[in-house]
Amino acid sequence: MNPENRILDLGLQLPTPPNPIANYLPYVKTNNLIFLSGCGPANDINGNELKGKIGKDINSRDGYKIARLAGLNLIARLKTSIRDLNNIKSIVKLLIMINATPGFTNHSEVANGCSDLLLEVFGEKAKHSRSAIGLNSLPNSIPVEIEMIVKI
């Protein structure tokens, strides 16, 4: 399975990877691992900024779509770091941070947006461990931020 062909087959296009908004690197390579810094969804398909709290401003179903967009940004950042997505051996770990209301409990449902996308693009290589946590806030009021560790 060629990941870049799968992206096209899914009707998706890799965006320009987002630049860091502070003093950090977008990724760090060490031996055969790449640690991707937290990445949000940037803008929706209409170019609108995605901001808000899941459980108040955004429902779980839309949170899933937002996590999927964040996952697409992570794939774009990953491609920048290794040039060829065929060099991926496995997606090791995701940390999904959700800007959620105190009573929100559907973290896994939102996190599946990114996990499902990775499985669709990379197949079995994308089976990963993950943590999905709710936080009181995220930078610039983004609804979801995701970190990823990848073995190449």
In a domain, 107, yes or no: yes
In 1-152, DSSP assigns E strands to 27-30, 33-39, 90-99, 129-135, 144-151
Instruction: Return the closest-CA partner of residue 38 out of 83, 121, 99, 117.
Output: 99
| pLDDT of amino acid 46 | 63
Residue 113: CATH number of its domain: 3.30.1330.40
Tens-place pLDDT, residues 70-97: 999 999 999 999 999 999 999 999 999 9
In a domain, 22, yes or no: no
| pLDDT of amino acid 21 | 79
Residue ranges in the chain whose pLDDT is less than 70: 43-48
Look at the chain and report how many structural domains it folds into.
1
In a domain, 121, yes or no: yes
In a domain, 20, yes or no: no
Residue 127 lies in domain: 3-14+27-151
In a domain, 21, yes or no: no
Full-model pTM: 0.94
In a domain, 99, yes or no: yes
Instruction: Return the closest-CA partner of residue 77 out of 141, 139, 7, 15.
Output: 15
Residue type, 70: A
- Residue showing tokens 């009573």: 103
